[in-house]
Structure 1
Amino acid sequence: MIRIIIALIFIFNIAFAGGNKVIKHILPNGATILYKQTKGKGIISGVLFIKGGSIEDPEGKKGLTHILMRMLLKESKNHSGFEINKVFEDSGGGISSSTAEEFSTIEFSVKVEDFKKGMKVLKDILYNPTFPEDKLKQEIENTIAQIKAKKEEGFSYAFEKLREEVYKGSPYQYSPLGKIEDLKTITKKDLKNRLKQLLNGHRIVFSIVGDMPYEKAEKYIKNVLKDLDNKDYQFPKYSLEIKGEKTKEFKREGAQSTILVAYNAPRAKEKYYFAMKVLNAILGNGFTSRLFQQLREKRGLAYAVGTVYPTRINIGNLIAYISSAPQKTEDSLNGIREVFKSVKNGISKEEINIAKEKIIGHYLLDLQTREKQAYYIGWFETIGFGYKMYKDYINNIQKVSEKDILEAYKKYIPKGNIAVVIKP
């Protein structure tokens, strides 16, 4: 135990090289700048968070935000797609975009000496995208191919079926990739209208970590953000709760069964969020977890088994998964539910300590890069915890007690679960 703690402290010191100080600056238009200076090899990384993901896609246009974020990097008034990528890649970094349910991002890394050039390109792709028709058609075709490919992979197919069951009646029931029939209707005009919605200062959190004083970087950052609209924005609110025990079975070709089971769980910022993080690790994180030990080691039911607990502003869920031989499908599903029920009988101190070590260790390893530091600083701010949580996260995990975990369990898990079973 002592060796592990010493190792974690060592990693902690590496992760926060350059100090913990984060400068927070809110511009008159509502845009938030978060800046952390580091010391190193002259790299600067940033993540532009945009509050607004796929759940805001209108009916008939599911996948619009995903297509928009992809198209922003394809061409702008002053730069071809090749030139956009070349500016960052020639500087030893890169640029990419992504869309989740609740927010979207543009992420980049460059050398310090190329930061000014990188910010000029970023501004151009935000305010002057051209959305060429040929590239739009190609991106839609690529996304449709992605959706079809997911149907061929057991876990992805099962997850999409679970999404439809758990989030039925809300925008969360759709993948950020969208719906095939909707993607085919997306036009250049749709992209322009959606971008206009997103270019609002109150939606923007720009998080940057790098080897450059803020005083030198500030004018370039502000130049990117200064033309944003100034309109009030609040995340849409949705609330769904699983009640009772339900199972839905689907057939697909394959050599194994895939089972996913969703339980209620806290949303971000709710009281038992950190306790559920620890419970998630106890139940399904790695070889020492209860699901692995009980269902794979002792009963030989699983090829793969574990849990995931996505952090959401709306609608929290803890999801267990297992892949097994078709003849073991029923035992595998029953096994997951039995292991979850076993928590009511108590949790050992050893389970709690191991779970915390895993969570903290993974988190600190993540933070060794500027890209990940920038991501976590901005992510915590975007989802409502505030940027300081990137430092306080470890302490919040360490503070979780057995009492907290059992209270979290009693509040959420017994209310019900929804299982999706994919069988050959």
Structure 2
Amino acid sequence: MGYKNEKLKEEKVFKDPVHRYIHVRDRVIWDIIGTREFQRLRRIKQLGTTYLVFHGAEHSRFQHSLGVYEIVRRIIDDGFSGRPEWDEEERLVTLCAALLHDLGHGPYSHAFENVFNLDHELFTQKILLGNTEVNQVLQRVSEKFPQKVADVIGKTYPDKLVVSLISSQIDADRMDYLQRDAYYTGVSYGHFDMERILRVMRPAEDQAVVKSSGMHAVEDYIMSRYQMYWQVYFHPVSRSAEVILTKILHRAKHLFEAGYTFGQEPVHFLTFFNKDIDLEDYIALDEGVITTYFQMWTKESDWILRDLSYRFLNRKLFQYVEFNPAAEYRKLHELEKLFKEAGIDPEYYLVVDSSSDLPYDFYRPGEENERLPIFLKMPNSELRELSRSSDIVDAVSGKRRTDHKLYFPADLLEEGKEKNPVYRQILQMLKN
């Protein structure tokens, strides 16, 4: 039979609040789940700092990865299997890519990536191809199998249909995180009729398409995504926590480069600070480790690092006001001068944060990050781009929404305004 096709003697089942059950029948999948690199995902939150707003959002990338795997398994085994457009030889590489697509995420994901200029997809590929337990499992399938899975993650795999199931405008990744994040945050925005979408999804030459009879379920999915981004993912309070988290890491990095002597040497960060990141150090870093450093940094002699760490751990977040960078750049410049005059470093305590989302886009060939649109399969088998049939989707197609906020320590300013007139002046400007 061979390792590639080996089945477990008894099916393994994970109880899941979103999909009810996650089924594992393949030996390869079960062995991957047991590796240290995959188990590490239990210690990385799916939604970063969002738990400071929605207290239920403590779920992990481990849960999400299993969910994406289950959706892809259902698409392949229940929907695509036996259809001429689907190559059964691609089944295992697709399942492995679905399970492993988030393997390279660092702690607090995007904030961490931005500070150290990292790409989680690149680190996913490094883990798949490096001296790791995951690589050893994949090698048992074939010598070239780890590279195949890495190519799907990197979107360079020759079978574009396989890539589209993991990464497209209607993929298993989005279908899981929208529902899972809605469940754990307690909001209703992320719910859509996934069962209907899976029933009408069909394989095509370059991507998965949807039968035209399922158009309204896809409309619902796109609007769910739109609402989740603005009500949950871009929530201004969560963004405040992310601003502080980012500034803690920036400050620690700056102090290290300036030769500052830490009370406890940040050994887990050294290769990150030196921009020579060792794969083993990357794998060893999780949110538990980072939180431990934040606890230690509340005792540091550097006031900024101490204060920001305390704020993050104890949810003493920055306040915010609406801000228009194009129209209010002079105001920002004036505020920066006043902050310096008041003895508050604007680099860490006056921060413009921007969020931007494009809910759906049609095909714009040649443009950067060009998006493959969603196609409906019409009764005559013609493929038609979704926004040509849906007025709802047409209304949001290609329309990018951007939001800017200005974050600042209102508590610090309020406490000091009686003693320092500059504090009062700053507060007055921020209110206007």
The answer to whether TM tops 0.5 is: no
Greater fraction of residues in helix: 2
Using structure 2 for the length normalisation, give the TM-score.
0.28
Using structure 1 for the length normalisation, give the TM-score.
0.28
Which structure: larger Rg? 2
The higher-RCO structure (CA 8 Å, 6+ apart) is 1
